[in-house]
Structures are given as C-alpha cells and as structure tokens.
C-alpha cells in the first residue's frame, strides 16, 4: 500500500459525496416542480375518494356490529333459558 492510496480514496469519497448532493438537489427540485403542484391540483379529489372509502368502511362496521348485537341478544336469551333448566 502506497501513501497515495489514502489520498485517492478520500478524493473518490469527496467526488461520490458531490454526486450524491447533486442528485439529492435534483430530486428535491423534481418534487417541488412536478409532484407538489400535482398534489395540490388532485389532493382534494384524493381526500374525497378516501373519505368515501372511510364512509363505506364505517357503514360495514356498523352493519357488522348490528348483526353481532342481534346474535348476542339471541344467544343471551338462550343462555338465560338454559339457566332455568334443571341439570341432569
């Protein structure tokens, strides 16, 4: 290993860091110029679609709870009548 190798390695590391920094700036610029405006234009539409899906989910959960409550009532009335029966 020569004394030049650590210097070359450091130079390559600096160059790589510079490229990463440039790429990161490009990504940030792309997001700011292309993605953010698109989100602003279509964001309300996406929120409305999400709200609609959440409304459907809430309805299914309510329906399931109502169905389960009906089953619980019939099960509890059966259990109550079982308590009155003599054990054999």
DSSP sequence for 76-88: HHHHHHHHHSPP-
Q: Is 79 inside any structural domain?
A: no
Report the run of H or E that residue 22 belongs to, with start and end. helix 4-30
- The pTM score is 0.45
Asked if the model's pLDDT at residue 79 lies above 70, the reply is no
- Percent of the chain that is helix, strand, coil (3-state, to 5): 90, 0, 10
Q: What is the pLDDT of residues 51-68, one digit of tens each?
A: 999 999 999 999 999 988
**Percentage of the residues of the chain whose pLDDT score is greater than 70:** 76
Domain of residue 56: give its range: 7-70
Question: Looking at the 3D structure of the chain, how many domains does it have?
Answer: 1
Confidence of residue 22 (pLDDT cuts 50, 70, 90): very high
Asked if the model's pLDDT at residue 69 lies above 60, the reply is yes
DSSP structural state of residue 3: T
Average pLDDT, the chain: 82
Q: Is 87 inside any structural domain?
A: no
């Amino acid at each position: 290993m020569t004394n030049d190798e650590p210097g070359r390695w450091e130079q390559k590391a600096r160059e790589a860091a510079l490229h990463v920094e440039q790429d990161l700036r490009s990504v940030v610029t792309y997001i700011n110029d292309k993605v953010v405006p698109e989100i602003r234009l279509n964001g309300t539409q996406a929120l409305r679609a999400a709200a609609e899906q959440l409304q459907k989910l809430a309805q299914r959960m309510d329906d399931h709870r109502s169905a389960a409550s009906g089953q619980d009532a019939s099960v509890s009335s059966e259990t109550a009548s079982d308590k009155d029966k003599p054990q054999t």
